[in-house]
Amino acid sequence: EVVFIRHHTQAAEVSEEEFFRATESGGTVVSSALTLMNQIVRDRYMGSEWNIYGAQASDGDNWQQDSAKCRDLLQRQLLPLVRYFAYVQVAEEDQNLWEEYSTLREANPHFAMQKITAPHQIFPVFRELFRRTPAGSGV
């Protein structure tokens, strides 16, 4: 099953078509999407029969005070629930969200980060992030 979550200041679960086609404007509060993901996982996908994988793509621009909250949500609530979580920043410059998430990499081997700065990088980066690994390797 795949769940799509879009956000600007508020997050919502949407269809795949709406996820890829709708546009939003206004401020960005990333924590609203992570909070919704946590709620969806806990409501629908808890238990040993589920392997949860999360992926987040963003330009990394977020309200400064919200980026620390995002890091905390990932560290304390989401990473303990998922087998793997990937963050992709689609901007060249380090943004505040990238800086906060960078602090999670060393202690969480099932958390990965990559940047995409040009359209030709999209498929190679996602292939690398979600490549199959040998059994017993952790992901």
* pLDDT in single tens digits along all 139 residues of the chain: 999 999 888 899 999 999 888 776 656 889 999 999 999 999 999 988 999 999 998 888 888 889 999 999 999 999 999 999 999 999 878 788 999 999 999 999 999 999 999 989 989 998 999 887 655 555 5
Map tokens 């508020």 to a residue: 10
pLDDT given for residue 134 in this prediction? 53
Phi-psi category of residue 32: left, alpha or beta, with phi > 0 → left and psi -120 to 50 → alpha: alpha
Q: Are the C-beta atoms of residues 73 and 34 closer than 8 Å to each other?
A: yes
Alpha-carbon dihedral 17, 19, 22, 24, rounded to 10 degrees: 170
pLDDT given for residue 138 in this prediction? 53
pLDDT given for residue 139 in this prediction? 53
Q: Please tell me whether residue 126 adopts helix, strand or coil conformation.
A: helix
What DSSP character marks residue 27? -
Partners of 12 in beta bridges: 6
Q: Using CB atoms within 10 Å of the CB of residue 1, give its burial: 0 to 12 exposed, 13 to 18 middle, 19+ buried.
A: exposed
> Of the candidates 103, 4, 8, 105, which has an alpha carbon nearest to the alpha carbon of residue 59?
8
CA 97 to chain CA centroid, Å, is 11
pLDDT given for residue 27 in this prediction? 63
CA distance 63 to 60: 10
